[in-house]
Amino acid sequence: MPSKSNIILIGMPGAGKSTVGVLLAKRLSKRFVDTDIIIQHRKKQSLQNILDLHGYRKLRAVEEEVICSLRVREAVIATGGSAVYSAKAMEYLGKRGTVVYFQLGINGVKRRITDFATRGIAKPPWQTFRQLFDERTRLYRKYADHTIDCRNVTPEEIGDRVEEVLRQ
């Protein structure tokens, strides 16, 4: 069984996974890994470009491939918002760390994300943002070991909350 030394951050775009992930990695003396950046580096293109050229299913498949290829320990891993669509990827991550869901309401997501058209959000073209939000929320809850409310708090306060639940 792999070591569960990692902290895996899941949640909607804009919830603070990357921002808080960097802070946590510094605080806890861990490595920081952002799966969206790995995808872009490996494919040599933006998430939005992958979506535009190949569609949302391809982006989700690449995301699963990248996640399942991670060989890190003692890391804070910020996943893309659609990582939870892959049971294989989430099982892989769950065996290697504690999964923390950064919960943010739909209005909070809309306030923080102003570039939906270019953000690289993997969803079918017919799906509304509300449908996507509701669908993902159920999946985040399913896979989370812990949930952190990210409404009306600073990144530092979210980091404090993550550290608190990890001590429990």
The model's pLDDT over 140-150, given as tens digits with 9 standing for 90+, comes to 999 999 999 99
% of the chain beyond a pLDDT of 90: 79
Amino acid identity, position 114: T
Q: What is the mean pLDDT of the chain?
A: 92
Core vs surface per residue 31-55: b (16+ CB within 10 A) or e: ebbbbbebbbeebeeebbebbeeee
Q: Which helix (H) or strand (E) holds 22?
A: helix 17-28
For the cut 70, the answer to whether the pLDDT of residue 1 exceeds it is no
The residues spanned by each domain of the chain are 6-167
Identify the pLDDT of residue 122. 83
Q: Which CATH class is domain 6-167?
A: alpha beta
- Between helix 87-96 and helix 56-68 the angle, nearest 10°, is 30
Predicted confidence band of residue 116 (pLDDT cuts 50, 70, 90): low
